[in-house]
Structure 1
Amino acid sequence: MEAIWEYRDLIFIKGGLLTVEVAVYSLILATIFGLLGSWAKLSKNKVARAGADGYTTIIRGIPDLVLMLLIFFQGQILLNRFGESTGLWTFVEIDPMTAGVFTIAFIMGAYYTETFRGAFLSIPSGQIEAATACGMSRPLIFRRIIWPQLVRYALPSFTNNWLVQLKTTALVSLIGLQDIVYNANAIGRKLREPFTFLFAALVFFLFLTAVSEIALRLLERRYSAGIRRA
């Protein structure tokens, strides 16, 4: 415990904050991917539906670690080759933070796509038709009818996906990003106490999970308040 307290700034403050940043940034981007993917799957356009189906099928069939390494290493090579062939740029360097956030968001976006698609299909179509018949505009229908129910139906699956995504952030340590796992492992190997410091990282992730579950349960209670009163 004394060793953990001595390196608390490097592990919990620097590494922990970086882990939270990766999780939050990737969540925002993954939500955007998920909304776009669900819109494409529900679209009448065959090309959009085929693209969304291919996206979710391929991503869910590739290990997260493989995709992380491919984007970080091979992605940079492909970008530089494309820049040289077109003359648009000479050299592009993908930093670990960008690669980690984008990869995690790209992976989880496939799962959020199914979450939002299922939530949208759970909304009774008669409500949207009735709102249209009453003369409500599309933005108003989305804000007053679709969005509140979309959040309520999506939250259980969204919570599970977010908790998985939170654990997936540990993969960024493999591409050199100094998150809590990277720092805990490096210090533990240096002091020959790997279990002690990795256990500290484990406790940190459990803490984030507990806080996330409490926050999302409160959010679910808020959006289900009317239903429960009924």
Structure 2
Amino acid sequence: MSAFTLLGFGPGGWGGALLLAAGTTLGLALCGFLVGAVLGGLAAGAKLSGLLPLRLVADGYTTLLRGVPDLLVIYLLYFGGSAALGTIAGLFGVAGFVGLPAFGVGVAALGIISGAYQAEVFRGAYLALDRGQIEAARAVGMHRGLILRRVVAPLVARTALPGLGNVWQILLKDSALVSVTGLIELLRQAQVGAGSTRQPFTFYLAAGALYLAITSLSTWGFSRAEAHARRGAP
């Protein structure tokens, strides 16, 4: 069977399965990125706060998550969470292994991991702000919440976009690690196809092309977003 037939959408073709798996990869990375943005924003706020306990917790979070392998975090969440769930289920007379949803674990793991990196991106963007604009907002009578929404958040987002783009690209590639939980994402689907047809080069090359297409579109999207955010800026 030729490569075009293998990767096509006809009988025996794997094109539809690969595209569906690519959609799973994209959804997994996107959800993880959004969860990470929330966690990163909270951690950045804690690191910039005047409360020592909050700063210590946030510093511990970013140091720990950036210092251990991403695969270890996924293992701990999936197998540790499943073991805890199995223990709880055993209290109600349910025996055997109770697995957590692979997609949900993947989103949580990627969110926790990316949140540690996004926290530093947000913190650096805030420290790079022109304090004169904040002082000007206070001078015209804006309260703290309005300053945060109308001045600080847009300026931080504009400055943080390049760093967030890098985090997103890393997260896309890290999504392949979630296959250890049994989730059929792009790389896992390529492995299944390669094992079933004994055509590993064809399937891994196709998976690489799909990853490259996603990352290329992402780079273009972030470039457009940066240009839009910096319009009118000196």
Aligned to 1:123: 129
Instruction: Identify the match of residue 103 of structure 1 among 81, 102, 109.
Output: 109
Higher helix share: 1
Structure 2 letter corresponding to 1:186: V
CA distance in 1, matches of 2:202, 2:90: 48
Q: Aligned residues: percent identity?
A: 36
CA distance in 2, matches of 1:217, 1:124: 23
SS at match of 1:226: coil
Aligned to 2:204: 198
Aligned to 1:7: 14
Structure 2 letter corresponding to 1:28: L
Structure 2 letter corresponding to 1:7: W
Once the 2 structures are TM-superposed, how far is the Cα of residue 60 of structure 1 from its aligned partner? Answer: 0.8
What pairs up with 1:1-230 in 2 under 5 angstroms?
A: 1=3, 2-5=5-8, 6-12=13-19, 14-81=20-87, 93-227=99-233, 230=234
SS at match of 2:232: helix
Structure 2 letter corresponding to 1:134: V
CA distance in 2, matches of 1:80, 1:137: 49
TM score, norm. by length of structure 2: 0.90
CA distance in 1, matches of 2:83, 2:105: 13
After superposition, what is the alpha-carbon deviation per residue over 1:81-138, rounded to whole angstroms, capped at 9, x for unaligned? Answer: 46778x8x99964111111110011011000000000001111223212212211123
Q: Describe the shift of the 1:195–1:79 C-alpha distance in structure 2 as closer, same or farther (beyond 3 A).
A: same
CA distance in 2, matches of 1:220, 1:153: 9
Q: Describe the shift of the 1:49–1:84 C-alpha distance in structure 2 as closer, same or farther (beyond 3 A).
A: farther
Structure 2 letter corresponding to 1:192: R
Q: Describe the shift of the 1:218–1:83 C-alpha distance in structure 2 as closer, same or farther (beyond 3 A).
A: same
Moved over 3 A (4+): 79-85, 89-93
Once the 2 structures are TM-superposed, how far is the Cα of residue 27 of structure 1 from its aligned partner? Answer: 1.0
CA distance in 1, matches of 2:190, 2:230: 40
CA distance in 2, matches of 1:224, 1:133: 25
